[in-house]
Structure 1
């Protein structure tokens, strides 16, 4: 029987010592890996680049990347679960924006000199 991965909350920005600081704990390594996994898809990277230009609806994003609303919603759910996107329902539409603090924290973990 396959070993189940632990369930952890990765919706808050990652906060641990930089990778270059020395060996990471298993828990910290898992937190970083799960966030990187959420970005390990070209569509998700493109969605993040679009969200850094400003808040957008799911429909606008679907049109921009040339995919169905359902497919874009799936990708946004993965990015939201990783804490990289903030979504808010307003009436009939869901508005999304990048969570810049989460990405800056991830950058700082990977390279402590990147954000100075």
Structure 2
């Protein structure tokens, strides 16, 4: 069984590299630090509105979505902004202001990192 290193994504605050996740859960027990990083990401996605917003961004054409394109999720605009902030803080999304609008992208490699954690190794 080959041991894989955790994937690295860009930190949404300063653009520096930050380890996003952990090795597959079936490979070995997580360290406390790995468990903390992983829990932050999955906790952020544990809310149905945040999961839907994340999905809208991830599946949007060109890999990015303007907040104006994803705000119709059944909650008020301030609540959408709050949830998007939580996703950014968890390292799942990056944001870039362009004029009046903010555009969101899934942080590089984050889907692969989360998928890697849930991979079953034989």
Native 8 Å contact 1:13 1:106 kept in 2: no
1:46 and 2:46 are equivalent in the alignment: no
User: 1:30–1:44: structure 2 CA closer, same or farther, 3 Å change rule?
Assistant: same
1:67 and 2:87 are equivalent in the alignment: no
In structure 1, the gaps of 5 or more residues are 1-9
Higher strand share: 2
Shift of 1:80: 0.7
CA RMSD of aligned residues (A): 1.9
Higher helix share: 1
Where has structure 1 moved over 3 Å in runs of 4 or more?
10-13
1:78 and 2:114 are equivalent in the alignment: no
Higher mean C-alpha deviation, range 14-23 or range 77-86: 14-23
> Structure 2 CA distance, aligned partners of 1:97 and 1:68?
21
> Structure 2 CA distance, aligned partners of 1:86 and 1:24?
26
In structure 2, the gaps of 5 or more residues are 1-10, 13-17
Q: Secondary structure at the match of 1:21?
A: coil
The number of aligned residues is 103
TM-score (norm 2): 0.74
